[in-house]
Structure 1
Amino acid sequence: MARTFQQSTLTVTLRHPVATFLYQATKPRIRLDGVDVKTSGWGVQRIPIMPGEHRLDVWVPYVIPRRAGRARRNITVTDGQDLALEYMAPTMTFARGSLGAPGEQASTGYSTVMVFNVIAVIVVVAALVALALT
């Protein structure tokens, strides 16, 4: 007797940090086992999937780099399962994205951006002090 499979679902929530509003200008991309999956943009994506082992890739198309925030995960889906994952785009486009359990994904590159911001403030303050002393 042939075994029948129940349809499984992969639910991927696509997120980006609030401060990275430029990500809104594009839609993240999902590739499952080397095949592009149509997405509706940021937010929850439900993808029908067959039970078994799969490779999931997520990234955001960008100017430089072309695939910002790349993240990859090997997943195993059981018969009839609804597997939920979350993707968080990085704060800096050159950093890796985060892909894993919902509610546990943090944006990478945030501390680097903060260091650059502090350096920029120090340079501006130093320039203002130098102008005031001349």
Structure 2
Amino acid sequence: MSQRNPAFKEVLDAHVAIQQWLSGTAPADRLDALMARFSPLYSMITLPGQVLDYQGLRALFQQAHGKRAGLEISIDELHLIAEGPSLAVVGYREWQADAAGNRSVRRSTVVFERANGALRWRHLHETQASG
């Protein structure tokens, strides 16, 4: 699929914003802008299997601002799983590394909802992976 797909672009753009937030290169007053990417009905299955809702994600981001110095996030293997008038489902692989030497690879599936011409993150499921 083309990297020009709006859902692929949102995955890439959101991870740039998340990288900046977690590394602290984004100003602390940008939390609302970051959260605007997510549906109020957002849900997430985290790597350890916990379930987060929108408020849980907001709390996670609030406490994590600037806590991952030197964080770099790379996304590859973007693929469209399903698409319709009101949703899009995308799979991708995510690589993370930070200045403390922490490294991880995960495979994720995101469900986007379309609202007022924009894509918002509705559900995310992450699974730990090896390269």
Give the TM-score normalised by structure 1. Answer: 0.25
Compare the two structures and name the one with the higher strand fraction.
2
Compare the two structures and name the one with the higher helix fraction.
2
Give the TM-score normalised by structure 2. Answer: 0.25
Higher Rg of the two aligned structures: 1
